[in-house]
Amino acid sequence: MKEFKVWDPFVRVFHWSLVAGFAANAFFTDDESALHEWIGYAVLALVALRLLWGLIGPATARFASFLPGPHAVMGQITDIATHRHRTHLGHSPLGALMIVNLLATMIAIGVTGYMMTTNAFWGVDWVEEAHEMLVTWAEVSVVVHIAAVVWESRRTGVNLARAMITGRKRLPEDVNIAS
């Protein structure tokens, strides 16, 4: 096994705080309570900090280092289709697309949530429906995200969830690293 440091403490704390905040508001808080609004704003603040970190943070946290082009996306799909034993040290291209989706959806949920508290949009049906639909979209995305983490961990032999806790990826000797 070779070990590589990949996720800095900020990325890890951000990730698990986002999981807790999202889950709390989607399943546990009373959605008419002040607590729901505060947790929602905390989620928005976390995402804002993550966007900043994506510009100034260390290499594996930077958007410039992991936002993929079509070539990289096709490369990972080809790996999966042809059983090529290859992994990525940072986020994989398909993983990166999911991350963009999750971050954008969190922002849209926060914005529609805030809109419901304003005089202009209070009681406006489409805003409430949009908030609800976006939460459903996020839930479906999270299920796919978790399934993909489990699938990619088994395919590449790298325990990705563990790396999001410890910050280190342990790679089997026989796996190639995609550039």
Q: Which residues bind ligand HEM (CB under 6 A)?
A: 11, 14-15, 18-19, 21-23, 25-26, 31-32, 36-37, 40-41, 43, 50, 91-92, 95, 99, 102-103, 109-110, 113-114, 116-117, 128, 131-132, 135, 142, 145-146, 149, 160-161, 164
Q: Minimum distance between the CB of residue 139 and ligand HEM, rounded to whole angstroms?
A: 8
Smallest distance from the beta carbon of 112 to ligand HEM, in angstroms?
A: 8
Cβ(78)–Cβ(151) under 8 Å? no
Task: Provide the residue count of the chain.
Answer: 179
Please report how close the Cβ of residue 164 comes to ligand HEM at its closest, in angstroms.
4
What 3-state DSSP class applies to 87?
strand
User: DSSP of 121-146, one letter per residue?
Assistant: TTT-HHHHHHHHHHHHHHHHHHHHHH
Q: Is the Cβ of residue 23 or residue 74 nearer to ligand HEM in the bound state?
A: 23
User: Minimum distance between the CB of residue 176 and ligand HEM, rounded to whole angstroms?
Assistant: 16
Selection from 122, 178, 169, 129 nearest residue 1 by Cα: 169
What are the phi and psi torsion angles at 67 (to 5°)? -70, 120
* Residue 97 Cβ vs ligand HEM, minimum distance, rounded to whole Å: 11
User: Based on CB atoms, which residue is closest to ligand HEM, 68 or 95?
Assistant: 95
User: Given the complex with ligand HEM, which of 31 and 170 has the nearer CB atom?
Assistant: 31
* Tokens 């594996």 found at: 60
Q: Match 């032999």 to its residue by tokens.
A: 157
Q: Which two tokens stand for residue 83?
A: 């059983």
Distance (Å, rounded) from C-alpha 51 to C-alpha 39? 18
